[in-house]
Homo-oligomer: A and B are copies of this chain.
């Protein structure tokens, strides 16, 4: 066992307590009333980087700050690795569905429950502890390291891309490592071969000059709520495909090797279904569940608001309706083109008597990587050593838009190696992170740095 690993084993209890301090800060980037918490979280993270032995500072952006850490002592021959993560979290609502409070980390059944535990504070902090393990035992790292933690991942990373562009020299690196994803299953570590992209839209339907009485006017006025239903319904056909003209034109037909690799993974659709407590799964005909998740695009309603939604019967004919609708994208789709196609589609579907506005809230390009080469090899070996089982290659249904920007701006290859688990309630009530994955994962990351420096 390496000295770094021994140090990790000896300090796990402290690592956990430090993480829980981090999780107690409600750093919700979407809500301006938490701006102070965002600053506190950034400062807290900077202090922990410094305590681990890195130079670190909080850097302002037009939005929430970026935390930047650096250790340059491995010399010019050693590779430079940029470790990216985010210290902001999703809003915790609906609050009444949390078993324990979202910002009071609570251990139950080998897990810690808290907003941000898996996404992404827990995973980001593992890197800090893996770096500390090397620095505390060897006094040095096998690689040069830049740590970049942003506070706007959950709201679209709007200021991060300009930040990276403005600091291309300062952020120059060979590899970008990101831990903001899941393992394939418990004790089945994985490396990602792809990420889906995202086109997140808001559709507004506006009708008459004001809300109207549904009796006095009903039957003569185009109802924005009914139109919105029609628009939403028109987005899919009966086979579960997205029915927007041109939508599949840019969708890559993946190679048979990748599809075979997906199909060979141990996965039970029935168990997945039962865990979700539904009587049937949904999705696009002609593809398996994991294919639907990783290599096929989607269209999902994220929210709808129209008219009177309180208690009882208000006989109002509403004059506006709004839906948040997002599309997960796969190579080679782009959010801009999908938004344009949806805009054209909605214009065709909507009747006269209402006006339509489609607002682009957020977008991110899909990503895929070359699974052969030093980067994936180094990760696979480190994961296998730490978890005692071979790592698998998997896709990821979620989006980390910054990955494509990192690769383009910095000319570096990205490695996505994550330690969440399926069902860990990302973006939902009762988010959790497995303590076993937290602990083994720190060792795996320490090993990964070694392998990359070798």
A interface residues (Cβ-Cβ under 8 A, vs B): 30, 90-91, 93-94, 97, 155-156, 182, 196, 198, 200, 207-223, 225-226, 228-236, 272, 275-284, 289, 292-293, 296-318, 321-324, 326, 328, 351-355, 361-362, 396-399, 422, 425-430
Contact = CB atoms under 8 A, between A and B. Distances in A.
A304 B326 contact: no
B276 A221 contact: yes
Contacts of A308: 91, 93, 302-303, 324
Contacts of A284: 219
Given A97-B211, A217-B276, A305-B309, 16 more contacts: A30-B314, A90-B314, A208-B277, A210-B425, A214-B427, A215-B397, A216-B397, A216-B422, A222-B282, A229-B304, A282-B351, A301-B307, A303-B306, A304-B306, A305-B305, A309-B324
A351 B217 CA distance: 32
A228 B397 CA distance: 24
Given A215-B198, A230-B233, A303-B318, A97 B210 contact: yes
Nearest to A276: B208
A357 B242 CA distance: 27
Contact of A318 (B182, B210, B301): B301
Given A316-B428, A321-B304, A399 B276 contact: no
Contacts of A220: 272, 281-283, 289, 292-293
A214 to B, nearest CB: 5
B228 A304 contact: yes
Nearest to A306: B304
B326 A219 contact: no
A427 B215 CA distance: 10
A283 B219 contact: yes
A226 B282 CA distance: 11
Nearest to A32: B311
Contact of A313 (B293, B296, B362): B362
Contact of A278 (B222, B235, B272, B429): B222
A281 B328 contact: no
B221 A278 contact: yes
